[in-house]
Every structure is written in C-alpha cells, then in structure tokens.
C-alpha cells in the first residue's frame, strides 16, 4: 500500500467506527471492536487516526460483520422470496461504507472498470469505482442514443424472454480488469450477460460481487464462469 492508500484505509476505518458509534456507547463500541474506549473516542472525534493494521481490522473484520448486519436490517423479503432493497441502493452514503469493506474483505484484484447492469446495480458500482478510483460502467437493456458502437450480450432466459444488454464499446478496453457487481444475484443470468460482455471486450474478470444473493444458484453459476473470486455480502 502506498501512503495515499494507507490514509484512505485509515479514513474508511473512522467512517465505519462513526457508523457503529451512532447506535452504541464507547464501552459498547469497545466491546464490538476489541479496541480501548479511549482510543475509539479519539478516532471518532477525528483527533487521531487508527494505525494501518488497526484500520484494516476495523474495515475487514468488524466492518464486514457490521455492514452485513446493517444490510440485513435494511432489506425486506416478501412471501415469494422477492427482495425489496430500495433501503440500500437508494442510500449512497451507506454504499460508500460498503465499498471499502467489499474491496478489503474479498480477494478482488484492483479493477480498471467496475461494471454493472442498469438499473439497481448502478449506485453500488459508483461507490466501488469511487473507492478504487476507477471507471464505472453500466450495461443497459436499450441502446444509448448517439453512441455508435456497442458490445451486446443476448440470452434467452428461463422464462423464454430474450434479454439483451448493450454497453458502449468505449467503456471497456481489451486487457482491462473488470469487476462485475450488482445489487442482487438470483438466477445469475444478468451476471452471466455481464461476463459475456467482458469476454467479448477481451477484458479480464477481477471478480463478481453482489450485495445480496437470493439463494445460491446465481453465485454458483458465476463461479462456473470464472476463476476470479465470486461473493455476496449476505444471502436470503
């Protein structure tokens, strides 16, 4: 890690601690994190930054569990197993906390592009791209006006309906490393189309990530398609 990356990690740890502090006393925060209450007070108030190793532990371990709990609290699953995750994907500040936890807690290589499918994956992809300092791109079910060249991926779904995603060809270059993300993965059909786009672009897959896995089918399907890490923060 270079100096700037260390500083970014330290600041993200403070963000995670501030989020946890909203619903805890310092003694409770000390219990959650295993860190002394006095140190936590100084971090939360911005007087001192946690050292790099502490910051990493906060973001990777404490943060991952806390963010997964917060995610679970924000989603609703209806009687048929459909997920309402608007409490998550509409909250960019929350997703800005999710991004470092995902980037540090899964073994993705740093990507050149974070790729998703419109619509609901866009805010997550934006947070991750911003965290990595890389480009964000989203494939759409219709062609963007004035764009001349597209990469297309088409598939007949289990339902029999044909689904096509279009990405402006300039969004991903050959040789780029691409992290495929989405808010939700269920059948994995959408992620498979995104992986098709990566393949057509002659780019490499850095990983596949979803906030929520509705069952295991989608994750398994993605794992069959790539050797890169595949994961979700929570499963319903």
Ligand X SMILES: Nc1ncnc2[nH]cnc12
Q: Which residues bind ligand X (CB under 6 A)?
A: 82-83, 184, 186, 214
Q: Which does 176 bind (CB under 5 to 8 A by kind): ligand X, ligand PRP, none?
A: none
Question: Considering the complex, what minimum distance in angstroms separates the CB of residue 188 from ligand PRP?
Answer: 5
Question: Considering the complex, what minimum distance in angstroms separates the CB of residue 82 from ligand X?
Answer: 4
Q: What is the 3-state secondary structure (H, E, C) of the chain?
A: CCHHHHHHHHHHHHHHHHHHHCCCCHHHHHHHHCCCHHHHHHHHCCCCCCCHHHHHHHHHHHHHHHHHHHHHHHCEECCCCCEECHHHHCCHHHHHHHHHHHHHHCCCCCCCEEEEECCCCHHHHHHHHHHHCCEEEEEECCCCCCCCCEEEEEEECCCCCEEEEEEEHHHCCCCCEEEEEEEEECCCHHHHHHHHHHHHCCCEEEEEEEEEECCCHHHHHHHHHCCCCEEEEEEC
Q: Which does 117 bind (CB under 5 to 8 A by kind): ligand PRP, ligand X, none?
A: ligand PRP
Q: Which is nearer to ligand X, 178 or 211 (by Cβ)?
A: 211
Question: Considering the complex, what minimum distance in angstroms separates the CB of residue 161 from ligand X?
Answer: 13
Which stretches of the chain bind ligand PRP, using CB under 6 A?
A: 117-121, 182-190, 218
Question: Considering the complex, what minimum distance in angstroms separates the CB of residue 205 from ligand X?
Answer: 22
Q: Which is nearer to ligand X, 82 or 90 (by Cβ)?
A: 82
Q: Which does 218 bind (CB under 5 to 8 A by kind): ligand PRP, ligand X, none?
A: ligand PRP
Question: Considering the complex, what minimum distance in angstroms separates the CB of residue 83 from ligand X?
Answer: 4
Q: Which is nearer to ligand X, 215 or 229 (by Cβ)?
A: 215
Q: Which is nearer to ligand X, 198 or 212 (by Cβ)?
A: 212
Neighbours of 11 (CB within 10 A): 14
Q: Which does 170 bind (CB under 5 to 8 A by kind): ligand PRP, ligand X, none?
A: none
Q: Which does 7 bind (CB under 5 to 8 A by kind): ligand PRP, ligand X, none?
A: none
Q: Which does 83 bind (CB under 5 to 8 A by kind): ligand X, ligand PRP, none?
A: ligand X
Instruction: Write down the residue that tokens 């398609």 correspond to.
Output: 225
Q: Which is nearer to ligand PRP, 100 or 121 (by Cβ)?
A: 121
Which residue of this chain has its Cβ atom nearest to ligand X in the complex? 83
């Amino acid at each position: 890690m270079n100096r700037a990356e260390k500083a970014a990690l330290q600041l993200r740890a403070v963000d995670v601690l501030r989020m946890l502090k909203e619903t805890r006393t310092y003694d409770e925060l000390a219990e959650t994190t295993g860190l002394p209450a006095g140190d936590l007070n100084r971090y939360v108030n911005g007087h001192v930054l946690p050292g790099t190793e502490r910051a990493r532990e906060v973001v990777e371990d404490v943060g991952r569990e806390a963010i997964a709990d917060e995610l679970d609290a924000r989603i609703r699953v209806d009687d048929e197993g459909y997920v309402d995750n608007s409490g998550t994907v509409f909250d960019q500040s929350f997703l800005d906390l999710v991004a470092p936890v995902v980037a540090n807690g899964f073994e993705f290589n740093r990507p050149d592009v974070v790729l998703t499918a419109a619509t609901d994956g866009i805010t997550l992809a934006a947070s991750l791209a911003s965290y990595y300092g890389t480009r964000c791109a989203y494939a759409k079910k219709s062609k963007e006006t004035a764009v001349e060249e597209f990469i297309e991926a088409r598939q007949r779904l289990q339902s029999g309906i044909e689904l096509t995603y279009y990405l402006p060809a300039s969004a991903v270059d050959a040789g780029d490393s691409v992290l495929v993300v989405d808010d939700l993965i269920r059948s994995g059909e959408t992620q498979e189309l995104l992986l098709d786009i990566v393949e057509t672009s002659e780019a490499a897959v850095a990983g596949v990530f979803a906030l929520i896995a509705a069952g295991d089918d989608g994750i398994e399907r993605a794992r069959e398609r790539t050797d890169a890490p595949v994961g979700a923060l929570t499963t319903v």
